[in-house]
């Protein structure tokens, strides 16, 4: 059986013609049902003949992730624990914000791997270890679940506005499926998300970075979190295999569109990377690129390995950056009460009902 949500448009066309003997235009109809009308069964595809629907059902399935739990934070953030077809659990988070006109907009934080191999020391997902990559159908299945949950059926004014690959997993370590997902997201007859509404966040993996940039399919965010190689090695031991200086050098020539900038994510960890000496080093790094900074304040739960930075140090850090003409915005973590904030996603059986890398998405 072919899981039809795993097929790109070209693959679906080939499947419809070669496997089912259908004309090519039939693929366009089925594609729109799958991605625009969020059909969960072939029977819903009413402009496709009954005979074709029957043939489709014989050879293919439409597999959405099953929703295990839905948790809502006091700040409106919603976290889903999803079960994939093989039983693996992943999480996705919906983060609300309001436009200037007061309209509700949602940013969705997507997972792309079950677990993560990078083992960043401040991140719950990192402690899970790596289980496997997610397929395109599983990655985009999260979007289908969100749209169904939101009743979001207006492609011209969608409530679900932005997507950020900042959930569980490192996108550049699942490059193939992430790129396939980005192409389907961009398709005007598919989910129809402009690249301006998608951000892919990486902790800095050499392989794939250039390909992502040259595709122009999403904005880039880099989880920096350290102002020098020594601290990066300590808090992000695997990411630090690619030397910080080499990462910044690669970003100096990263392909950017006019007025586009790389976003650097910087998690302020009390007493680790939040001093003025660190801000000074950070300025030197970021100034080499066309970049801006998102400062995220670490807010530990009991037993977490780091302390929160003090309000005075946060302010001094931010002010120093601005004084050196670096754009730096403090991002409030959302969904902390349901463990949906940045670095808190950790899907497991144990967390069903209390469940929990997260809700620090760029503003919509």
Which of 182, 221 has the CB closer to ligand SF4? 221
Q: Is 112 annotated as a binding residue?
A: no
Distance CA 289, CA 283 (A): 10
Annotated binding residue at 223?
A: yes
Q: Which helix (H) or strand (E) holds 131?
A: strand 130-133
Q: Is the dihedral of CA 262, 268, 274, 276 positive or negative?
A: positive
Could you give the CA distance from residue 6 to residue 11 in angstroms, rounded to a whole number? 9
Q: Cβ 345 to ligand SF4, closest distance in Å?
A: 8
Nearer to ligand SF4, 115 or 158 (CB): 115
Cβ 201 to ligand SF4, closest distance in Å? 8
* Residue whose C-alpha is closest to residue 362's, from 142, 200, 159: 200
Cα distance between residue 163 and residue 343, in whole Å: 17
Q: Taking the complex as a whole, how short is the minimal distance between the CB of residue 236 and ligand SF4, in angstroms?
A: 7
Least Cβ distance, residue 344 to ligand SF4 (angstroms): 10
342 is catalytic: yes
Q: Is 169 annotated as a binding residue?
A: yes
Residue 239 to residue 223: CA distance in whole angstroms: 10
Q: Collect contacts of 257-262 with beta carbons under 8 A, ≥24 apart.
A: 257/216, 260/219, 260/290, 261/290, 261/291, 261/292, 262/220, 262/221, 262/222, 262/289, 262/290, 262/291, 262/292
* 38 belongs to the catalytic site: no
CA distance 39 to 62: 8
Catalytic residue among 38, 109, 112, 342: 342
Whether residue 299 is annotated as binding a ligand: the answer is: yes
192 annotated as ligand-binding: no
Closest to ligand SF4 by CB, 17 or 299: 299
Nearest-angstrom CA–CA distance, 9 and 273 = 45
Cβ count near 127 (within 10 Å): 12
Distance CA 306, CA 123 (A): 11
SS3 call for 179:
helix
Residues of the shown chain interacting with ligand SF4 in the complex, contacts defined by CB under 6 A:
116, 118-120, 123, 125-126, 168-170, 203, 223, 343, 357
Torsion of CA 345, 124, 295, 176, to 10 degrees: -70
The reply to whether 170 sits in an annotated binding site is yes
* Site of tokens 């629907």: 53
Task: State the minimum distance, in angstroms, from the CB of residue 283 to ligand SF4.
Answer: 23
Find all residues with CB under 8 Å of 258, minimum gap 6, and list them.
none
> Considering 22, 91, 177, 265, which one is annotated as catalytic?
91
Residue with Cβ nearer ligand SF4 (16 or 120): 120
Q: In terms of CB distance, is 12 or 198 closer to ligand SF4?
A: 198
**Nearest distance from C-beta of residue 36 to ligand SF4, angstroms:** 30
Which residue, 167 or 190, is less far from ligand SF4 as judged by CB? 167
Task: List binding-site positions for [4Fe-4S] cluster.
Answer: 116, 120, 123
Task: List binding-site positions.
Answer: 116, 120, 123, 169-170, 201, 223-225, 299
Catalytic residues: 91, 342
């Amino acid at each position: 059986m072919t899981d039809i949500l795993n097929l790109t448009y070209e693959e679906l066309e080939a499947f419809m013609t070669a496997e089912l003997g259908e004309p090519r235009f039939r693929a366009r109809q089925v594609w729109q049902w799958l991605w625009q009308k969020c059909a969960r069964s072939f029977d819903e595809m009413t402009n496709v003949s009954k005979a074709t629907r029957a043939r489709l059902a014989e050879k293919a399935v439409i597999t959405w992730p099953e929703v295990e739990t839905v948790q809502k934070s006091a700040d409106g953030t919603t976290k889903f624990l999803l079960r994939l077809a093989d039983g693996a659990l992943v999480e996705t988070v919906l983060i609300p914000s309001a436009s200037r006109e007061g309209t509700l907009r949602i940013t969705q934080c997507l997972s792309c791997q079950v677990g993560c191999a990078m083992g960043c020391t401040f991140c719950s997902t990192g402690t899970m270890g790596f289980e496997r990559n997610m397929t395109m159908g599983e990655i985009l299945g999260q979007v289908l679940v969100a749209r169904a949950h939101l009743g979001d059926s207006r492609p011209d004014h969608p409530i679900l506005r932005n997507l950020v690959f900042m959930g569980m997993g490192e996108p550049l370590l699942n490059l193939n499926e992430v790129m396939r997902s980005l192409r389907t997201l961009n398709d005007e007859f598919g989910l129809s998300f402009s690249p301006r509404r998608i951000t892919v966040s990486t902790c800095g993996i050499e392989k794939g970075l250039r390909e992502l940039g040259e595709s122009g399919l999403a904005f880039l965010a880099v989880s920096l979190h350290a102002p020098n190689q020594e601290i990066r090695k300590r808090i992000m031991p695997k990411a630090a295999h690619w030397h910080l200086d080499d990462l910044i050098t690669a970003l100096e020539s990263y392909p950017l569109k006019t007025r586009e900038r790389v976003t650097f994510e910087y998690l302020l960890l009390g007493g680790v990377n939040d001093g003025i000496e660190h801000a000074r080093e950070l300025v030197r790094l970021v100034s080499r690129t066309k970049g801006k900074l998102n400062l995220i304040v670490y807010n530990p739960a009991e037993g977490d390995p780091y302390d929160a930075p003090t309000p005075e140090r946060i302010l001094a850090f931010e002010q120093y950056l601005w004084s050196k003409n670096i754009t730096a915005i403090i991002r409030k973590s959302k969904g902390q009460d349901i463990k949906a904030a940045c670095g808190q996603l950790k899907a497991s059986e144990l967390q069903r009902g209390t469940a929990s890398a997260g809700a620090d998405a760029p503003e919509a």
